[in-house]
């Protein structure tokens, strides 16, 4: 793999565009999980991993749980059993249930915006690919015509794009 491609691949994997870092969704994920019942922190992390299909930042989840507890969205208590170490369990409060309701409304609005953005991004990406194909075709034609400038291929149909800039 060429060095430039390897670097681009590595950067893409850590880029937010990879979708592996959806920290902003930790709070609604935690609220959703706790709406089903009381759980300890590690189980919450596991459920988020199942929900989002990647392992979340564990420290970030615990930080969010502490913040949510300070805001009154969850309460915690130590579970002390004979088997294993003590574990802090979290329960959703009435305020947390109300917050989850607001999150549902917010996520619905964002889903609509994301759908529009995704459709526009797909159109823009198709225009970029069409422009690259037109440039390649024009270069080929120039080579074939031994240096004369192309005319018609540069004015190809551009797939509904407003510009090939």
Q: What is the pLDDT of residues 116-142, one digit of tens each?
A: 999 999 988 888 877 778 888 877 877
Structural contact between residues 134 and 153, judged by C-beta atoms closer than 8 angstroms: yes
Nearest to 51 by CA among 70, 85, 27, 15: 27
Domain spanning 19-92, CATH architecture: Orthogonal Bundle (1.10)
Taking only the tens place, the pLDDT of each residue in 3-57 is 555 555 556 555 656 655 566 789 999 999 999 999 999 999 999 999 888 888 8
SS (H, E, C) 22-58: CHHHHHHHHHHHHCCCCEEHHHHHHHHHHHHCCCCCH
Nearest to 29 by CA among 55, 7, 2: 55
Distance, CA of 116 to chain centre: 16
Nearest to 40 by CA among 1, 9, 78: 78
Say how many C-beta atoms besides its own lie within 10 A of residue 152's C-beta: 8
> Residue 102: pLDDT above 50?
yes
Q: What are the extents of the domains in the chain? A: 19-92, 94-156
pLDDT at residue 154 in the model: 44
- The lowest-confidence range among 42-51, 63-72, 84-93, 147-156 is 147-156
Q: Rounded to whole angstroms, how far apart are CA atoms 66 and 131?
A: 51
Taking only the tens place, the pLDDT of each residue in 60-81 is 999 999 999 999 999 999 988 7
* Strands across the sheet containing 74-79: 39-40, 87-92, 74-79
Give pTM, 2 decimals: 0.66
Q: Rounded to whole angstroms, how far apart are CA atoms 92 and 97?
A: 7
Of 162 and 102, the structure prediction assigns the larger pLDDT to: 102
pLDDT at residue 155 in the model: 42
Residues 6+ apart with CB under 8 A from 150: 138, 141, 142
- The lowest-confidence range among 70-74, 95-99, 145-149 is 145-149
pLDDT at residue 137 in the model: 80
């Amino acid at each position: 793999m060429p060095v430039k491609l390897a670097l681009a691949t590595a950067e893409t994997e850590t880029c937010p565009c990879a979708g592996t870092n959806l920290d902003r969704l930790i709070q609604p994920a935690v609220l959703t999980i706790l709406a089903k019942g009381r759980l300890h922190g590690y189980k919450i992390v596991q459920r988020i991993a199942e929900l989002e299909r990647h392992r979340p930042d564990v420290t970030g989840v615990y930080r969010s749980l502490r913040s949510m507890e300070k805001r009154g969205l969850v309460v915690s208590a130590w579970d002390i059993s004979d088997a294993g170490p003590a574990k802090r369990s979290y329960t959703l409060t009435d305020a947390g249930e109300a917050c989850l309701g607001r999150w549902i409304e917010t996520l619905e609005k964002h889903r609509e915006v994301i759908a529009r953005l995704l459709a526009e991004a797909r159109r823009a990406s198709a225009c970029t690919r069409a422009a690259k194909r037109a440039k390649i075709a024009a270069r080929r034609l120039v080579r074939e015509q031994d240096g004369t400038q192309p005319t018609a291929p540069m004015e190809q149909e551009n797939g509904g794009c407003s510009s090939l800039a």
